[in-house]
Amino acid sequence: MNGSTERSAELDAVQREWWLYLLFGVALMVLGLAAIAVPFATAVAAATVLGLLFMAGAIVQGMYTFRMRGRTSRMVLHIVMAILYVLAGLILLAHPIATALMLTMLLAIVFFVEGVVKIVGSIEMRGMPHRGWLLVGGVLSLLLGVLIASRWPASAIWAIGILVGIDLIYAGATMIALSLAVHGVFPHAPRLAGEH
């Protein structure tokens, strides 16, 4: 299947399920506004979720250990892993500020990589309607990553909520614009420079 055929198949899929993209876009915008409204709570919530994920990992390791009867060396390894997961989860849950510091730097890296991926994606999506918005999203993500990293560690408390909120709002707006464009609501919507 060549690139033109793949792009046509992608566009057909979006056109068939445009309303799902619309709902997804609205949900992303609502989540983004909530994250901006309470940035510190968002940072603490992110730290809490990460701690809970480690605890869930411990449970999975423990369950897997009970299924390994007769393999003592591997059982010991999985028991050690479960204990480490529990300890990591407890530390993250007990120290949400330190976790927010770590997550802030991780967030900077994620935004940077996401920006590069979006920019490359916009270049590869020649012929798709309104692909310039993806390019703008990529540039914004790249800039957000640089901003977070340059203000670290002071940015840890507000950065997670505010910057994730901004990214979610923009992603939601992009999904809404895409869904309405392929559905024909804005068939002659202005395109950004660089679109063909």
Tell me how far apart the alpha carbons of residues 54 and 150 are, in angstroms, rounded to a whole number.
Answer: 29
How confident is the model over 2-18, as pLDDT tens digits? 656 766 666 676 677 77
Q: Under a CB-based contact definition with an 8 Å cutoff, are residues 24 and 65 in contact?
A: no
Please tell me whether the overall predicted TM-score, pTM, comes out greater than 0.75 for this model. Answer: no
Sequence ranges of the domains in the chain: 10-183
pLDDT value at residue 33: 92
